[in-house]
Structure 1
Amino acid sequence: MAGVTLHNVIKKYGDVQVIHGIDLEIEDGEFCVFVGPSGCGKSTLLRMVAGLEETTKGSMHIGERDVTRMDPSQRGVAMVFQTYALYPHMTVKDNMGFGLKMNGHPKAEIEAKVAEATRILKLEDYLDRKPAALSGGQRQRVSIGRAIVRGPDVFLFDEPLSNLDAELRVEMRVEIARLHKEIGATMIYVTHDQVEAMTLADKIVVLRKGVIEQVGAPMELYRDPDNKFVAGFIGSPAMNFLDGKVVDGGVAVAGLGMVIPAGLSTAYKGHAVTVGLRPEHLEVDPNGTALRVDMVESLGGVSYAYLVGDTGERIVIEQRGDDRVADGETIGLTVDPSRLYLFDGETEQRIRT
């Protein structure tokens, strides 16, 4: 097993630069997730680690080895694709062992490694089936098994759950988390789904337009985002954002018709800011600002109420317990000042008080 280090990694297609000087260190045995919106460069960066995309500038190490110009087969990585990429005419057993067979490994070694992967992924009942006779989740487990058999230094996952339905996605998230715990390998996982990122990762790398916006543990990014983009991307439902202005005594939030104490220095007075509020940090209070409940999304143990203010602001609040608001109600809302996030109105960087 080995860690992965990227130093000033750049990727260009002709004159178009898509990865802009990435510096990143992934520790040995760490589960690192690249997350961001479509087109942010996360899959390109993963493919560069795999050697499927050439690195234009910079360097890349796996363990102590400089793999920047190495062929994919020499890097000690195994990739699990979104599309499974299984041979349809081969059984599960043959699919998992095919790579080792082509590289001339002894039959006994192949049998032993396939048996171990089968045990880890609980595929004993499917070894003689072909991919067409498997569900989507089973096919993805076979794809992961093929990677395990290779015994790589680093596992690479390129949106492996995107083709699965909601129930299978949850099941496979648990399988992949259990797999990482059991084998302890370094894993790099690409997804646009921040729920997957939050539930799987030791470390999350948030990307936007080929640049790293922030790196950290899941709850670190959730509780202490560096900028508005990270604050809005990490968390479901997303953080509420409202326009504000710094005044004496705090921040005037037009959408709530209130001044919230913020403890900012006088240097910020008159500055435009964006006020961020997590849905779970807003409370219903009959003495608070009046807003109308436009819709309630009830998910059983939790509900999300979508509120509309007099001037059209939309705010989402989270509710638990038995006493919840209903569609069409007008309710009061209060804010705990200690739960406030402030972002510069121009740069969108976090203002820490």
Structure 2
Amino acid sequence: MSGVKLQNVIKRYGDVQVIHGVDLEIEDGEFCVFVGPSGCGKSTLLRMVAGLEETTEGSMSIGARDVTKMDPAERGVAMVFQTYALYPHMTVKENMGFGLKMNGHPKAEIEAKVAEATRILKLEEYLKRKPAALSGGQRQRVSIGRAIVRGPEVFLFDEPLSNLDAELRVEMRVEIARLHKEIGATMIYVTHDQVEAMTLADKIVVLRKGFIEQVGAPLELYRDPDNKFVAGFIGSPAMNFLEGVVKGGRVHVPSLQNSFDVPVALPPEGTEVTLGLRPEHIEVDPAGDTHDIDLTEALGGTSYAYLVSASGEKIIVEEHGDERSQEGMRVGIKFPVERTMLFDRKSEARIR
């Protein structure tokens, strides 16, 4: 298996630049997830690694080979798409071995590789079925099996779970994580779902408008984001953001009708800032600032209360236990100031 290295990679369509000088190194055997909102360039970047999109500038290597100008078939990658792209007239076994058959591989080799992929993905009982007789999750496993039999250096996944229902998505996440653990291959995975990113990745690459915002391990990005965008994108529900201003050596937050001594060096007096606070760090407390509850979501062991401050800003509070807030109530809240994050309101950069 091999790692992947991108150096100052740029992609243009005519005069429009969509990927802006990306530098990235993915280690051999690493599970790397590209995540970001629609239109951020994550699928374009993945297709550039696959060779399905031409690299306008910069270089790309897989292992020790420069693959920047190579055709997709020469790169040693296998791609799993959002759509299953299975041949409807072929059985599962025939679908998985078809690529090797077309490339002239011996029958015995094809049989052995299909058998190994079947074992890994637990598809033994489905080998004689055709795609129409399979569920969505089973079809996607066949699609992954077709990639496995090729023995690629790098696996590429382009939102492979988007067409599945919620239960199957969870099941397939576990399957893909188990697959990576068993075969130890380098994998690059594209998703807009940050839950998938957090649960699967060794390394997350957060993209916005063709730029890399931050790269790091899932909990590293969650606990120590570089800017407001990453802080808001990683985590579900999203981080609460409250507008404030530096006043008298403290951070004054009008919606909380209070000022705070935060554990960072403050910018100059009058600087407009944003206070970030995760829902799980807020507690309901009768002695705290009071807010109206607009909506609650009860999810079993956890509930989320959506509060509205006097100035109209929304605050999400995570609750546990038997007694929880209800819609229409007015409650007080408190939180440990050391858990807050501070961002410059104009640049959105983290103030550390």
Regarding TM over 0.5, the answer is yes
* C-alpha separation in 1, matches of 2:160 and 2:120: 18
Q: How does 1:112-191 map to 2 (within 5 A)?
A: 112-191=112-191
* C-alpha separation in 1, matches of 2:108 and 2:76: 22
Question: How far off its partner does 1:293 sit?
Answer: 1.0
Question: How far off its partner does 1:40 sit?
Answer: 0.3
* C-alpha separation in 2, matches of 1:116 and 1:160: 21
Residue 20 (1) aligns with residue 55 (2):
no
Question: How far off its partner does 1:197 sit?
Answer: 0.2
The residue that corresponds to 1:222 in the other structure is: 222
* C-alpha separation in 1, matches of 2:275 and 2:310: 18
* C-alpha separation in 2, matches of 1:123 and 1:204: 30
Contact 2:34 2:42 in 1 (8 A): yes
For structure 1, which segment, 265-274 or 92-101, has the greater mean C-alpha deviation from structure 2 after superposition?
265-274
Which stretches in structure 2 are left out of the alignment for 5+ residues?
Answer: none
**Change in 2 beyond 3 A, CA 1:342/1:267:** closer
* C-alpha separation in 1, matches of 2:326 and 2:34: 38
Which structure 1 residue ranges, 4+ long, deviate > 2 Å from structure 2?
Answer: 263-268
Q: How does 1:256-275 map to 2 (within 5 A)?
A: 256-265=256-265, 267-275=267-275
Residue 303 (1) aligns with residue 328 (2):
no
For residue 308 of structure 1, what is the amino acid of its counterpart?
A: V
* C-alpha separation in 1, matches of 2:287 and 2:250: 20
Q: How does 1:329-340 map to 2 (within 5 A)?
A: 329-340=329-340
Q: In the TM superposition, what whole-angstrom CA distance separates every residue of 1:115-136 from its partner, at most 9, and x where no partner exists?
A: 0000000000100011011000
* C-alpha separation in 1, matches of 2:32 and 2:267: 39
For residue 293 of structure 2, what is the amino acid of its counterpart?
A: V
* C-alpha separation in 2, matches of 1:267 and 1:217: 29
Q: In the TM superposition, what whole-angstrom CA distance separates every residue of 1:191-238 from its partner, at most 9, and x where no partner exists?
A: 000000000000000000000000000000000000000000000000
Contact 1:8 1:21 in 2 (8 A): yes
**Change in 2 beyond 3 A, CA 1:265/1:137:** closer
* C-alpha separation in 2, matches of 1:296 and 1:308: 12
* C-alpha separation in 1, matches of 2:268 and 2:150: 57
Q: How does 1:47-62 map to 2 (within 5 A)?
A: 47-62=47-62
Residue 101 (1) aligns with residue 101 (2):
yes
For residue 258 of structure 1, what is the amino acid of its counterpart?
A: N
* C-alpha separation in 1, matches of 2:347 and 2:104: 57
Structure 2 counterpart SS, 1:348:
coil
TM-score between both structures, scaled by the size of structure 1: 0.99
Structure 1 counterpart SS, 2:40:
coil
For residue 345 of structure 2, what is the amino acid of its counterpart?
A: G
Contact 1:251 1:262 in 2 (8 A): yes
For the aligned residue pairs, the C-alpha RMSD in angstroms reads 0.8
Q: In the TM superposition, what whole-angstrom CA distance separates every residue of 1:12-55 from its partner, at most 9, and x where no partner exists?
A: 00110000000000000000000000000000000000000000
Residue 202 (1) aligns with residue 199 (2):
no
**Change in 2 beyond 3 A, CA 1:266/1:133:** closer
* C-alpha separation in 1, matches of 2:267 and 2:119: 63
Residue 70 (1) aligns with residue 103 (2):
no
**Change in 2 beyond 3 A, CA 1:266/1:316:** closer
* C-alpha separation in 2, matches of 1:267 and 1:132: 62
Structure 1 counterpart SS, 2:195:
helix
For structure 1, which segment, 91-100 or 240-249, has the greater mean C-alpha deviation from structure 2 after superposition?
240-249
* C-alpha separation in 2, matches of 1:12 and 1:296: 45
* C-alpha separation in 1, matches of 2:323 and 2:278: 20
* C-alpha separation in 1, matches of 2:160 and 2:260: 44
Structure 2 counterpart SS, 1:318:
strand
**Change in 2 beyond 3 A, CA 1:351/1:267:** closer
Instruction: Name the count of aligned residue pairs.
Output: 352
TM-score between both structures, scaled by the size of structure 2: 0.99
Question: How far off its partner does 1:323 sit?
Answer: 2.2
Q: In the TM superposition, what whole-angstrom CA distance separates every residue of 1:253-272 from its partner, at most 9, and x where no partner exists?
A: 11111112114446422100
Question: How far off its partner does 1:345 sit?
Answer: 1.1
The residue that corresponds to 2:237 in the other structure is: 237
Structure 1 counterpart SS, 2:163:
coil
Question: How far off its partner does 1:149 sit?
Answer: 0.2
Contact 2:35 2:207 in 1 (8 A): yes
**Change in 2 beyond 3 A, CA 1:97/1:259:** same
* C-alpha separation in 1, matches of 2:112 and 2:199: 32
* C-alpha separation in 2, matches of 1:263 and 1:338: 6
Contact 1:250 1:263 in 2 (8 A): no
Question: How far off its partner does 1:311 sit?
Answer: 1.9
For residue 134 of structure 2, what is the amino acid of its counterpart?
A: L
For residue 306 of structure 1, what is the amino acid of its counterpart?
A: Y
